[in-house]
Structure 1
Amino acid sequence: MDEENSIESMDSSPGDAVSGRDDGEFDEDEEIYDYERRPSLDLEETPMETFIQYHVDPVLPPALSYTSLNSQGESEMNGEDESITEVKLDRTGSFSSCYSYDSDDCEKKINKSRSKDDTSESAETDELILDENEFKHQALTVPFTFRAISDTVGKLSDHDKYFFGRELWLHFPQKFSVDMDLVDVVDKLLECFNLEKSLQIVKAVLVKIERNKLVQFLKARCMRNEVRYELKKFLREKYSDLFKTCSDDEKPSFSEAFTDLYISSNRHNGPNIEHEVLNIPKLNTIDEPDAPVPLRDLLNPDKLSDIRSNVIMLCGVAGSGKSMAIKKLIYDWVENDLETRLDFVIPIAFTELKQFEGSKMSFLEVLHNLYPPTERLTEKELGFSDCKTLFLFDGLDEYERCDAFNFNSTELVFSSTHTVSLHGLVVNVLRGKVLENGVALVTTRPMMTSTTPWDNRHHKIEMLGFTNNNREEFFKKRFKNATQANRVIEYVKSSKTLHAMCHLPLFCSIVADECQGVFREKGMQAELPRSITYMYTKLLLSLIRESRKSRAPDRSPDQETEFLITHGKAALTMLEECTFKKVKPYFSSEKIFNPDSVTYSGLVIEYTVTPAVLLNEQAFSFIHPTVQEYLVALYAYLSFQQNHNIFETKQSLQGRIKGLLKPQKVMDVFMCAVEKSLEFEDGRFDMCLRFLCGMELKANQDLLQSFCGSSSKTENHIQSTAAFIKKKMKEDRHQDRINNLKRCLEEMGVST
C-alpha cells in the first residue's frame, strides 16, 4: 500500500461517514438522535464472535486476500463442537480479509469464529484497554463519542494520522487497514466496540504515538460532557416549573405557552404610545425600532462575531418579557433545542449573588457554589477555545442602584480564580474580564444600561414585548380551548386600551388569568370583565410585589402609599400640561423622581431623546401613557382617603380650613373629576376619569386595601355618580365626550 495514498485517505471529513451519522455535523450535547448502542464484544474471550455485515466489491477478487480456504467439518470452541467455515487469514492490508466470504451472497451475515491458535488479538486488546470504566458515564452517547474521536484524531498531522492508523491495524488487523480514512476508522471503532472501549482504544493509541496533549484534550472533552449532563439534570430540578409536562388542567406548560418576543437591535426606542383617545406625538428618540430579532438568532455565531463583545445587554421595561426570554434559553439548552451549539448555559440571577455580600470570592468559586455539578470545571477547562459557555445574568437592576457602581476605582480582574469583593466581581463581569471564552447575556431595565463602563464595548439591544401577532398567538397558546381563546382575543380587541397594554407579556398574562377565572367560575358563555381599571390595579400590585421581593424588601405599606402619591402628583402635573415625557433637568430640580422610582418601581422608563440643541438629553416617561393616567386616578382616590380633593381649583384659605374640619364627600371628588374631564375638549382627562370610576368597584377597592385601609360601602356612591354622569350626557356635549362618559358607566358596571 502506498504510504502517501494512505495518509491522504485519512483526511476525509466526518460528513462522509457511512454509518451512525447523518448529513450534518453532530452536536456534542445533542440527544435527539435515537441511536441504539450495539452490544459490546467480549474481546478477551471471543473477539471474532460477532456478526458483521460487509459488502464485497465485485471488482476486487476476495480470494486474493486469503492464503488458503478450506472446509473443515468440526472445530472445538469453548468446549463445544460446532460446524464452521475456517478462513486462514494473511495479515495483509486488505480490508476484506477480516470477513467470511460467501459466494452466494456477499452481504450475508456469517457467524465466524477464530482459530484455537489465534490468541494474539486478545492480548493486544488487553494492552490497549487498561481501564474500561475511565469513560463510563450516563452522558456517553453515540453522537458525542463520534464527534469527540473525530475532533481529537482530526487534530493530528498527516504524518501522525498515518501512524495512528498503523497502530490500529497492527492491533486489529481483521478490523482496520492502514489506508482507511478518518471517518471509516471512527465508524469501525463504534461498530466493533462499545463507546467506552472505543474511547479507551483511541486514548491508548495516542499514548503510543506520544501525543499526550491530545490525550488531555480527549479526556477534557469527555469530562465536560459529563458535567454538561449533570448540570442539565440540576437545572431541571432548579427550574422544575419550566419542565412540568402538560396536565389536564386549563393552563399549558411553559414550552407550550411560550410566544416569541419582539427584540430590537436598536435601543432608546422609548415607551409604547398607542392611545385610545389622544394622538400623542411621536417621540424623538435617537433610535428607531428595526426588524425584530428572533430569540433563536440572538446567539447566532455570526452575529456574536460581528458584535466583537462578550457582554450583551438586554434592556426592557418591567413586564416586557426579559425573564421569559432567559427561561426560554434555559429550557431550549436543557432540551437540546438550541440552534447554536453551547457547551454550558449557566443562569445566575443577581439576587442570588447577594448571599455573597461581605465576602471575597472568585468568579469560579461563586459558580461552584451556585452549581455543584460544575466543581470539576477549572479555569483551564472554561478557557478552551472549543468550550462555548453562555452566562445568563438576570436582573441587574435588582442588584444595586445604578449610581452605586464605580468602574473607575474598582480593580481590574482578568482571571476567574482571582479573589475579589462581590461589587468588584459584578463590575468585572460587566467589563467582560472574567468570562474566559464565555458570553454574558445581562438583562436589566433601561436606566441601568448607562452604568456600563465607557471604555468597554457592549452590545445593547432592547426587549419590546409582543407585536400584534404575538398577542393573538399568546392567547391561542394560553387557552387550550379554541373557543375560549377566540373570545379572549375578541375581548382584548374590543378595547383599544387593553390591546395597547397587551404589548407587555406581563399584562397579557394578567388578562388571561382573569378571563380564565371567569370561565372556570361562571362557564364558557359568561361575560368577561368590563372594567379595565381592575387589570391596571393587578399590574400595579404585580410590580410592587416584585419590588418588595428583590428591590425594596424593607419598605412599609405607608411608605409605598407615599411613593404612589408622589408619582401621582408628577403624573397629574404632566397631564395638565398634556405631556407624557420630561427631560432629566426637570426631575432633578423638582425632585419628583429619584433613581428608586426609575430603577425599582417599574413604573418609569428612562431613554435618550434628540433635542433641538446639540447634545442628547435623558428623558423620563411612564411605561405607558395610560399608566400615567391611572396613577392620577389612584392619586385622587388615595388623597380622598386623606380628606383631600385634588380636582378642586382655586380653593380659598377659608375653604381649605373648612375642608380639614368637615370630611370630603365622595360625590364632590367625582363631580369635580367629571367637570375636569369635560373642560378639556382634547380628552386629556378622559381616561383618568374612566379609571377613577373604576376605583369605586368593590373588587378594585379590595385590591387596594393595603394602601387605604378597609373599603367603604360604595353602592350608593356608584348610583349617585352614575346619575350625575347621565345628567351630563343629556346636556349638549361633543360626541367624543358622550362616548367617554358611556365608558365611565361601563367601568362602574352601570348600563347606559
Structure 2
Amino acid sequence: MSCNHRTRTSALLSKNDDRKQVQIGCPDQPWRSIICVFSSNELVDPLYNIMNDTEMEAAALSGISSIGEAVSGRGENVHYQPQDQDEDEDDDDDVYYIPPRRPSLDLGNGAMDISNWHRVDHAVAPALSYCSMKSEENADNMEDMEDEDEEGCSTRIHLYRADSFSSCYSFDSDDCEKRTPKDKDIEEDVPELTDRPELITDPNEIRHPSLTVAFTFKAICKTLKELSDENLKTVKMMLWNRYPQTFTTPPHSMDIVDLVDRLLECYSLEVSLQITRSILEEMERKKLVDYLKTLCLRNEVRHDLSETLKKKYGKVCEGFTTQGAKTPIDDIYTNLFITTTCDNGPNIEHEVMTIEKLDSNREEGTRLSIDDIMSARRLQDMNMRSLLITGVAGSGKSMAVQKLILDWIEEKSHQHVTFLFPLPFRELKQFEGSKVSLLEIIQTLYPETKRLRDEDYRSDNCKMLFVFDGLDEYKGNLDFQNTELLCDHTDPTSLNIIVVNLLRSRLLYRGLFIITTRPQVKRCIPWDAHYDEIEVRGFCDSEKDEYFKKKFQDPDQAARVIEYISSLKTLRIMCHLPLFCSLVAEECQRLFTEQGADAELPRSITYMYTKLLLALTRHHRMSRAPELKPEDERDFLMKLGKLAFNMLEQGQFKMIKSDWKEVGISDEEAVVNSGLCTQYVTKPFVLFQEKVISFIHPTMQEYLAALYVFLSYSNHGKNIFEQHLKQKVRGMLKGHKKMDLYKSAVDRSLQCEDGKLDLFLRFLFGMATKTNLELIQPFCTSSLKWPTVIKDAMALIKKKLSEHHPPGRKNNLQRCLEELDWSASGAAAASS
C-alpha cells in the first residue's frame, strides 16, 4: 500500500472464538490487509477510539517499530493474509464493522492528541549580532523568524540549515525512513534536562562594547583548538546531548569552525561563552577556562586602551602658528620614506650645486612601510626586541609613530601585539624626582590597565609594545655601565634607572620597544645591546604631491600649490621634510582665506626658511630644553651662522670637532635642541669611523650664513665682505651705507663660477623684505627702513643684469629680483 493511498480500517471479529481477529487495510484488496489477533476481553467498544486517536498502539500491536512503517506498510514483521471476498460476505452477520478512520494526511481542525509525539525543545532565539554579519537577505529572514517566534514557532531556525530538518515532518513522506530523529521517551528526557547547566543572562546587564562577534568566534575557536581530538569529541557529544534544539544531528563531522559557527547562530554572544565555559568546567579543564576568561579580560582592556589612544593620537597638529587646530591623521598622512640603512647623512639635492655624498652610508637599504616596522616576520628574521628610529628634525618620526598607533587601534597592522603603550618622554618628565615603578607609570598614564594581572606582563602570548617617542628630549644621565640593575617592573625606583634598564633590554624581557630620536652625538643605546636601527627620511617626490592633494580639499587649490612649489626648485627640494610641507601649506591656506582663490602665492623662499627656523628653534625646542633668553638665542644663531658662512666660502658642508671648538657652539644645542644640524657616522678608512655633524640640508647652511651676514650689518654695522682693517677704519669714520653690503655681496657672488654663493645671495636679499623682517625682528637690535632698501636693491640687480655675466649668474640675479618683487607692491603701499 503506497503512502499516497487513502486508507480505511475494518475489523473482523469471530463470535465463536475467544481470540478475535482484526483486519487493517483495504477491504477491496484483502491481500494488502493486516490480520491481528486479540483476546475477547481486549476487543470492546473502545477499540474504535484507540484506533482513531493513537497510532503508537497499532504499531505496537502489529510488531512494527515505527509509526511511519505502520502507516506505509513497510514494517519488517508484517504478515499479509489474503482472504476470500465471498467468505467475507457470508459472515456479515458474525462481524462488527468499524467505520473508516480519518486519513493520515488530513489532520482536520479538531484537537489532536500529541502526548506520544517526540519531544522537541524550543530553540533559543538566534543571536542578532551573529546574523548581522551575513547578507541582507539573511537579515530579513532573521526578522521573519523573530515574528514567528512571537506566534509560537520556535524551531524556525532549523529550516535555514541544510543539515537540519523539522521534527514534525509527515509520516507519509518518502524519506521518513532515511531521516529519523533520535527517539527518547519523556521519562528519559527529564533527568537529562535537569542535569543541563542553567544559562544565566541578566537582561539589565550592559554588554561591553569589546564583545563582538569576531572576538567571540575567535576566542572560542582558540580555546577549543587547545583540546586534544578525544576531548574535542567529548565536547561535541556533550553539546549534542544537552542542546538538541541546536544540534539536531550528531556534530561529530563538524570541525571547530562549523561547531562555533552553529553555536553563535543559535545563541547570543554571552550565552555562547557561558556554554563553552560550563562544558570545559565539567570536563575539569580549569586551565582552558582560565584561558578563555583571560582572553575576554584582555579584549576588554585592549578596547578601553584603544579608545584612550584614539582620542590622544587620532588627530595631529601641524605647523607652529595654529596651535589649537588639529586634523585627523588619516586626512593628511602620506607614506614616508623609511629605510633600513642609517647614517645616510642629510639630503644633498641642490638647485645650483652638485654636492657629493658626504662620506656616509652608501649602501642601498630596503624601503619599509609602517606595517613593516615591527611586523611579526621582521621580528622573527631580525631576532630583535628593540628598534631605534632616527631622522633629522621635521622628517616625520613622530608622524610615523602616530600612524603606527592608529593602525594598531584600527587592527590594520601589528596585530601580533596585544597591548601598545606610547610613553613619550615629554610625558615621562612628570615622574622625575620621585620613586616610581614602570607598572605605576603605565597605570597612571593609562588607568584602564589596572585590570591587567602580573602574569599578563610576563606571558609569552601577551606581547606588549612600548613606544618611547623623543629620547632626545630626555636630559637624564644615560650611564649604561654604573646604573644599578632593575629586572622587576613592579619595583619602585627613579625614572633614570627605569630608562637605562629599558634601553639595556633588562626590564620586561618579553616586551618590544620602539625608541625615536634625532641623531645624537652620544649613542642613546649601548653598543652591546641587541637592537635594530632604521631611518625616516621624509617624502619622495610623489609623496610631496600626494600630501598637498590631501591637505587641500579643493582640487584646484591643491593643483595651484603643487604648481607653485614646482616653479621654485629649492622649495620643491626642501619639501622632502614633512614639517616644511606643512609650513608651506599653512601659508598658502592663509592667503587663500584672506585673498580668495586667486590669491598670489609668495615667490620668496627666504620667508619660508625663516618660518622653518622659528618652528625648530622655538616651537619644537620647547619640549627638549629650557627657553633661551633673546640675547642667548641671538648669540647662538650668530655663532652658528658664522660657522656656516666660513664653511660655505671654503665649499665645505660637514664639520668636525675642531670646527666646533673654534666657534664655541654646543653640539647638543645644534643637533638635539634646535634641530638645525644632524649627526652621522662616516668611514673615511676601512677600520676607522668618525662622527660628523652637518646642517640638515645645504640650503639651511646657506640660509644661516645669510642671516649671520645680515644681522652683523643691521646690529653691529659690519660688512663681512670687507677687509677687517679697512672695516675698522671706516667704522670709526662714518657708518656704512645700507647698499654697501649688497654691492659687495653681489660682486663676491658673481666671482664664484661654481655658484656656491648663489642661494646665499638670494637669501640675503630676501632678508630685507617686510614679511621676513617681521619674523626676525627679535634677532635685530635696530630697525631698518626696508622700503628704501628694497628700491635700492632692485635698482642694483637690474644694473647688474644689464652687464655681461655668465648665464648661470644672470639667472640667479633674476631669482634675487623675484625674492624682492613679492613685497614690492606692499612696500609701495607702505611708503605712500
TM-score normalised over the length of structure 2: 0.75
Partner of 1:724: 796
CA distance in 1, matches of 2:619, 2:731: 37
Partner of 1:386: 461
Q: CA deviation at 1:194?
A: 0.7
Partner of 2:89: none
Partner of 1:363: 438
CA distance in 1, matches of 2:603, 2:158: 72
Q: 1:213 pairs with 275, 287, 291, which one?
A: 287
Q: CA deviation at 1:691?
A: 0.4
Q: 2:817 pairs with 730, 745, 748, which one?
A: 745
Secondary structure at 1:391 match in 2: strand
Partner of 2:154: 49
Matched-pair contact (CA < 8 Å) for 1:322–1:443 = yes
Q: CA separation of 1:56/1:577 partners in 2, compared to 1, >3 Å: closer, same or farther? A: closer
Alignment of 1:227-626 (within 5 A): 227-239=301-313, 241=315, 253-338=328-413, 340-400=415-475, 404-447=477-520, 450-588=523-661, 591-612=664-685, 614-626=687-699
Partner of 2:785: 713
CA distance in 2, matches of 1:708, 1:32: 70
More off after superposition, 265-274 vs 331-340: 331-340
Partner of 2:80: none
More off after superposition, 655-664 vs 701-710: 655-664
Q: Does 1:145 align with 2:216?
A: yes
Which letter maps to 2:455? K
Matched residue count: 677
Q: CA deviation at 1:385?
A: 2.5
Which letter maps to 2:490? T
Q: Does 1:683 align with 2:683?
A: no
Secondary structure at 2:485 match in 1: coil
Matched-pair contact (CA < 8 Å) for 2:395–2:536 = yes
Q: CA deviation at 1:130?
A: 8.4
Q: Does 1:651 align with 2:724?
A: yes
More off after superposition, 659-668 vs 361-370: 659-668
Q: CA separation of 1:667/1:381 partners in 2, compared to 1, >3 Å: closer, same or farther? A: same
Q: CA deviation at 1:33?
A: 11
Q: CA deviation at 1:50?
A: 4.2
Q: CA separation of 1:274/1:70 partners in 2, compared to 1, >3 Å: closer, same or farther? A: closer
Please report the RMSD computed on the Cα atoms of aligned residues, expressed in angstroms.
3.7
Q: CA deviation at 1:181?
A: 3.1
Q: CA deviation at 1:151?
A: 0.5
Q: CA separation of 1:473/1:178 partners in 2, compared to 1, >3 Å: closer, same or farther? A: closer
Matched-pair contact (CA < 8 Å) for 1:633–1:689 = yes
Q: 1:669 pairs with 720, 726, 741, which one?
A: 741
Matched-pair contact (CA < 8 Å) for 1:510–1:535 = yes
After superposition, give the CA deviation of every residue in 1:693-733 in whole Å (9 maximum; x if it has no partner): 00101111111122225743200111112222222222222
CA distance in 2, matches of 1:533, 1:576: 20
Matched-pair contact (CA < 8 Å) for 1:243–1:331 = no
Matched-pair contact (CA < 8 Å) for 1:643–1:664 = no
CA distance in 2, matches of 1:32, 1:225: 24
Q: CA deviation at 1:95?
A: 10
Q: CA deviation at 1:375?
A: 1.3
Partner of 2:298: 224
Matched-pair contact (CA < 8 Å) for 1:264–1:291 = yes
Partner of 1:76: none
Secondary structure at 2:708 match in 1: helix
Q: What are structure 2's unaligned runs of at least 5 residues?
A: 1-127, 319-324, 826-832
CA distance in 2, matches of 1:56, 1:348: 51
Q: CA deviation at 1:386?
A: 2.5
Partner of 1:184: 258
Q: CA separation of 1:69/1:522 partners in 2, compared to 1, >3 Å: closer, same or farther? A: closer
CA distance in 1, matches of 2:134, 2:604: 48
Secondary structure at 1:617 match in 2: strand
Q: CA separation of 1:227/1:398 partners in 2, compared to 1, >3 Å: closer, same or farther? A: same
Which letter maps to 1:704? I
Q: 2:235 pairs with 164, 167, 171, which one?
A: 164
Bigger-Rg structure (1/2): 2
Secondary structure at 2:529 match in 1: coil
Secondary structure at 2:468 match in 1: strand
Matched-pair contact (CA < 8 Å) for 1:137–1:226 = yes
Q: What are structure 1's unaligned runs of at least 5 residues?
A: 1-18, 23-30, 72-84, 89-93, 100-113, 245-249
Which letter maps to 1:696? A
More off after superposition, 712-721 vs 463-472: 712-721
CA distance in 1, matches of 2:218, 2:693: 53
CA distance in 2, matches of 1:125, 1:706: 82
Q: CA deviation at 1:288?
A: 3.0
More off after superposition, 558-567 vs 641-650: 641-650
Matched-pair contact (CA < 8 Å) for 2:236–2:251 = yes
Secondary structure at 1:203 match in 2: helix
CA distance in 2, matches of 1:449, 1:171: 68
After superposition, give the CA deviation of every residue in 1:108-164 in whole Å (9 maximum; x if it has no partner): xxxxxx989966676445446488999942210011001101101111122322333
CA distance in 2, matches of 1:469, 1:174: 60
More off after superposition, 170-179 vs 685-694: 170-179
TM-score normalised over the length of structure 1: 0.82
More off after superposition, 138-147 vs 287-296: 287-296
Which letter maps to 1:148? A
Q: CA deviation at 1:476?
A: 1.4
Q: CA deviation at 1:607?
A: 0.5
CA distance in 1, matches of 2:530, 2:371: 23
Secondary structure at 1:642 match in 2: helix
Q: CA deviation at 1:416?
A: 2.1
Secondary structure at 1:700 match in 2: helix
More off after superposition, 678-687 vs 219-228: 678-687
Partner of 2:270: 196
Which letter maps to 1:501? M
CA distance in 1, matches of 2:266, 2:530: 52
Q: CA deviation at 1:734?
A: 1.7
Matched-pair contact (CA < 8 Å) for 2:359–2:683 = yes
After superposition, give the CA deviation of every residue in 1:393-412 in whole Å (9 maximum; x if it has no partner): 211111127xx311111223
